[in-house]
Amino acid sequence: MSGQPAGPLPGDAERALYLEILAQGGRVGFAEAVRQDPGAVVRLIGLGLLVPHGTADQLTAVSPRAVAGRIGAGLRTEATRMLVRAERMPEALAELVEAYEAAVPEAERSAEVEHVDEMEQIRHRILQIEADYREEGLSAQPGRRPPEHLADDSRSRAALERGVEIRVLYQPVSRDDPATAAYAARATGWGMRIRVLDEAFTRMIIFDRRVAVIPAAADNRSAAFVEDPAVVAVLAAGFLRDWERAERIRWEVTDRTTEAPVHDMVGTLLAQGLTQRAIAGRMGLSERTVAGHIARLRDLYDAETLFQLGWLMRGGVDE
């Protein structure tokens, strides 16, 4: 609630009562203040902005400058303690890190390439990486998407919600597959960017431009996990080159229970001139979620800036 203080700071109710007491000369009867807002009185006393006067039947407002210094000192002390804890965290978890690394199958390693031959182990290894990446996912998925791969979309959605930018390349066959089209409509509604490239390309996933997963066999039943920075950089550059040539798609919504209408509403409000923050407040969404929708709209309209996007969505003519 907006009237509640956030942490050690006074909220709206406390500020209003404090200003009213100042307007009355900086002193108020305890009983009178309690009648106005007992909760705010208690919090102001706790913060030190009001102190009992005389026999405690009066309250006196004191300078926020002194209170700010005291609270600031406390926050700095707490911040120091948190920094110390953060510095000690790797040491505290060292035993668990060693146990985890010892438990992960070593498989066959060559330099910074790990070969995994069993599908279950491949999925397990990808799950481990997905739980740790935070910035970007690049995925090239040629051919028709197996339905079982589309059924569990919780991991991709969770990644998008924590701010990961995900770009996916499909081939034209995906446009004619109802399951893939429905998934793409849902996923792009969450902020994923999906394009179609009418060319042959190799299956590949790149996490944070740190780890690339590529086929190690023609049947895709063996995978290579590449962590060599130079190799990953070359693979990422190839993906981005294909991405620029790929076609932007307005995926049809086949399931009206999906969140695509949310995407449409974001576009409508953006075209009306609302800011990202205002849209988030209007729709009850986080700014990060709204940013995901806007990223997809910018991709669809090929807009470089929010101003250009809003102009195009209001019917502007593309240059």
Confidence of residue 6 (pLDDT cuts 50, 70, 90): very low
pLDDT at residue number 255: 44
pLDDT at residue number 55: 59
Please compute the mean of the pLDDT values over residues 20-29 and round it to a whole number.
Answer: 83
Residues of the chain by 3-state class (helix, strand, coil), percent to 5:
55, 15, 30
Confidence of residue 312 (pLDDT cuts 50, 70, 90): confident
pLDDT at residue number 41: 83
Residue with the larger pLDDT of the pair 29 and 153: 29
pLDDT tens digits, one per residue of 124-157: 888 888 877 888 999 999 887 777 677 767 788 8
pLDDT at residue number 233: 93
Sign of the alpha-carbon torsion through 23, 29, 30, 34: negative
For the chain, percent of residues with pLDDT exceeding 90:
15
Residue pair 265/283 in contact (Cβ under 8 Å)? The answer is yes
**Conformational region of residue 302, where left means phi above 0, alpha means psi within -120 to 50, and beta covers everything else:** left
pLDDT tens digits, one per residue of 176-225: 778 888 888 888 888 899 999 888 888 999 999 999 999 988 777 889 99
Confidence of residue 254 (pLDDT cuts 50, 70, 90): very low
pTM comes to 0.49
Please compute the mean of the pLDDT values over residues 47-61 and round it to a whole number.
Answer: 77
Alpha-carbon span 175 to 251, nearest angstrom: 8
Residue 98 scores a pLDDT above 80: no
Residue 309 scores a pLDDT above 70: yes
Alpha-carbon span 250 to 123, nearest angstrom: 30
Residue with the larger pLDDT of the pair 159 and 73: 159
Residue 318 scores a pLDDT above 70: no
Average pLDDT value over all residues in the chain? 79
CA geometry: angle at 122 spanning 120 and 123, to 5°? 65
Residue 123 scores a pLDDT above 60: yes
